[in-house]
Amino acid sequence: MSIQAQRLLNVALALRESRNPDQFQMGCYVNGCGTPACAIGHYASRADLQDLFAIRNGDDFVYADSTPDWEYGGLADYDDDRVLEHFGITAYEAEALFGGRGCDYAKTANEAADFIERFVKRKWGIDPAVRRLERELTTEIPTQEYVAAELTEHSR
């Protein structure tokens, strides 16, 4: 799977794991109370899933490597070149995914996640449900190398 596809699936994961799903809206990056609002806002708030974006001062969607003295304070936008490159998408696709009416006018975080997963499947031929199952299976089944190492350790 391409890294760009995985990044978009991480956007969907951030949406599905939202701590405030009732505050989801595609019209802004961050709500006035500082909680993530839109799809890319949820992703930006998750430093465990990515390191390109951050939420600064409770309401600014910024590049994580920026400083307040950068032009425009390091503010990011969903159709910036760095964003397009990060996700491997065009400006048109960015609008469809992250614009104010993005994710097919999604009204909930789960609707947006569903749209993004369908987009990934269409663009890269990757079924997110299969990838989730693969992750679950591979984390529960030890590798041959692990088993061999364990056997060697216990035979001493």
What pLDDT does residue 72 have?
Answer: 60
| Gap between the Cα atoms of 49 and 52, Å rounded | 10
What pLDDT does residue 58 have?
Answer: 78
Digit-by-digit pLDDT tens for the chain (156 residues) are 789 999 999 999 999 999 999 999 999 999 988 889 999 999 999 999 999 999 887 778 888 887 666 556 688 899 999 999 999 999 999 999 999 999 999 999 999 999 999 999 999 987 767 666 766 676 655 566 655 666 666 566
Q: Give pTM, 2 decimals.
A: 0.78
Domain ranges within the chain, ordered by starting residue: 3-125, 127-156
Whole-number Cα distances in Å, 96 to 70, 101, 105, 112: 28, 7, 9, 11
Three-class SS state of 61: strand
